[in-house]
Chains A and B, each alone.
Chain A
Amino acid sequence: MSESVLTAPKTSALPRGGFVRRRLRNPWRRPTILATITWGYLAWSLIPLVIAIAVSFNASRSSSTVHLFSLQWWWTDPSDSLLHDPELHSAVIQSLRLSLTTMAIVVPLGVAFALGIDRWHGRLATGANFVMLLSFVMPEIILGVSVFFVFSFLLKFVPLGSTAQILGLVTFQVSYPVIIVRARLLSIGKEYEEAAMDLGATPRQSIRAVLLPLLYPAIFASAAIVFADTIDDFVTVRYLSGPVSSEPLSVKIYNFARGQPSPAINAAATFMLASTIVVAFVAYLLYRAFTKGQRTGGLGDLATRL
């Protein structure tokens, strides 16, 4: 911060008052308090997670006594580890199945809706948009309970289990791509598409060949967010799970966290975390690849889109 030294006023120009007061009045002082709060916040938000991950590699059952690095809770232990406990093992598969299926349904559904609602105006469009936004802000417990009720009373032909879970998850998630893609559509504008059509493309072609590639960054970002959010979801999914085998990892963790905590649960949570990070990273790489040459603020831009 050399410039702060250069532009700092001479001592004589400082306002009167004691040291503290003078410091507070100096507009060029370094934001020490804010910096402390920020780094303190980051430590508070991230250190517990590091410890939780470390516990999963701990050779002891207790979460506080540190033993040697061990993969006991991941796969070495023949009965209680993530790989060998049949319940946890099938839960991992169920988690991945639910989130990948949900992602595959939500993204096209949401992107199409965003495209349509961005260009279609009228009372019906306003209504559809209102409902979509409502599904975004509705607390999840309301959504979970109401979908559970509809499957147990009105749409009884949908059995509780994977199908119901996916239907519920899609409903809860579909607004994410809509919001992200609409933000991107606003910054793209209509010019590219119109140019394509001036050059002879049909509306369908101009969407497929021009608009869709421009939307890829937003599509990847929303796919990653939907994946991360569904693999963590346990509110909607717990209400809609039927037999024990349909409970994904998140629900297992929720059920076991207070009852019988075990480092294997930490291993399970760490596994979820790792899979989310992989998906987020892939999405980020794709985002970078597809926005190459475009003026975006990188991470800052992505952050403000969320």
Chain B
Amino acid sequence: MSVPSGAEPVRRGPRRSHRATDEGIHYSRWFWPSFTIPASIWLAILFILPLYTVISIAFGTVDPIFRGPLPVYEPWWWSGEQFGRVLGDSVSFYRIVYIHTFEYVVIASALCLVLAYAVAYYVARYGGKRKTILLALLIAPFFISYLMRMLAWINLLDTEGYINKILTFLHLVPHPIDWLSGRPSTVIMGLVYGYIPYMILPLYAFLDRIDINLLEAGRDLGAGPARTFFRVTLPLSRPGILAALVIVSLPMFGDYYTNNLLSGSPKTTMLGNLIDDALGSTGQGNKAAAFVLILMVLVLIPMLYYMRSTARSLLTR
């Protein structure tokens, strides 16, 4: 992703083993692996083990007296009773929640893509002398807390906030609108606002690398600007678009806070809210674990896709 400076050879193809590459230099066999041991152990205990615990709780039983979850760690004793119940509810009672989740995530990701692509394209192609300041402004939201950014919108969208003041002042609406209680449009706006910075930068990095000669070749061969864009730029940026879509939609699927902060109403409940609510109420541990498991399965394919594309870009650079 970085700009390759002139002196460095571009690495391609499979890597050879160290003994073959570094003539005469011998690392002991455990030299490099030992570097990875602390972090690997950490992840084994605090990442893999917790995920297994979730599965053990989702397929576990319930304490008959305290109604708390009783995890079952041996797969051969797993019972599908609790998980089956949640699955049953998911296709009936909670179906609307899944529909909302997909609706909001798809609409918000699409809006993010259109806006982010336009901005990234402009900065990459036409940034010119202002590129640095534009980039600084685009990076700024990265360092501004998500909460701060949501708080800003809570202030603005309040019934006494500036948005309503302006709207009533211009007589566009007769009386202030209650934006912050159960409006899907507000939630989608919040999702776009919250996650779009994560999309613009990777797209920018991708578009910035497209060889301008290819575009000029397209022009020379008689294609107009629109045709050059649709036949050259867009196909070239497709991997970048897919990766960027995954980057924003994965956290959106697990988002509950945007919804809680900007709506807080059961009318806009998403899957993330189900998990958060279940965890907040006693005796629903199994339910929370089951929902986490469902979420994990739902996002598995985009996650694997993203990991594969990152791994490939690391190898072929």
Contacts and interface: CB of A to CB of B under 8 A. Distances in A.
Interface stretch (B82-90, B92-100, B255-263): B255-263
Given A116-B33, A131-B43, A305-B2, A299 B132 contact: yes
A147 B50 contact: yes
Nearest to A187: B2
Interface string B158-190: 101110010000000000000010000000000
B142 A306 contact: yes
Contacts of A52: 148, 151-152, 155
Given A149-B50, A295-B5, 6 more contacts: A42-B134, A139-B251, A197-B25, A198-B25, A203-B25, A253-B147
B119 A135 contact: no
B155 A51 contact: yes
Interface in A165-198: 167-168, 170-171, 174, 178, 182-184, 186-187, 189-190, 194, 197-198
A63 interface: yes
A135 B47 contact: yes
Interface string A200-219: 00010000000000000000
Interface of A: 1, 15, 24-27, 31, 34-35, 37-38, 41-42, 44-46, 48-49, 51-52, 55, 62-64, 109-110, 112-113, 115-117, 119-121, 124-125, 128-135, 137-143, 145-150, 153-155, 167-168, 170-171, 174, 178, 182-184, 186-187, 189-190, 194, 197-198, 203, 225, 228, 231-232, 234-235, 239, 250, 253-254, 257-258, 261, 265-266, 269-270, 272-273, 276-277, 280, 294-306
Given A49-B152, A139-B254, A299-B136, A119 B18 contact: yes
Closest 9 CB pairs of A and B: A116-B35, A139-B254, A146-B50, A48-B152, A116-B36, A113-B39, A52-B152, A304-B205, A232-B145
A116 B34 contact: yes
B33 A125 contact: yes
Contact of B54 (A145, A182, A239, A280): A145
Interface of B: 1-6, 8-9, 11, 15, 17-18, 21-22, 25, 27, 31-40, 42-51, 53-54, 57, 69, 71, 115, 118-119, 121-123, 125-126, 128, 131-132, 134-156, 158, 160-162, 165, 180, 193, 196-197, 201, 204-205, 208, 219, 224-226, 228, 246, 250-251, 253-257, 260-261, 264, 272, 275-276, 279, 285, 288-289, 292, 295-296, 299, 303, 306-307, 310-311, 314, 317
A130 B161 contact: no
B2 A301 contact: yes
A266 B276 contact: no
Contacts of A124: 33
B292 A145 contact: yes
A64 B144 contact: no
B146 A232 contact: yes
Given A119-B32, A304-B204, A38 B46 contact: no
B50 A150 contact: yes
A234 B256 CA distance: 12
Contacts of B250: 137, 139
A102 B34 CA distance: 22
A186 B314 contact: yes
Contacts of B126: 31, 34-35
Nearest to B206: A304
Contacts of B140: 45-46
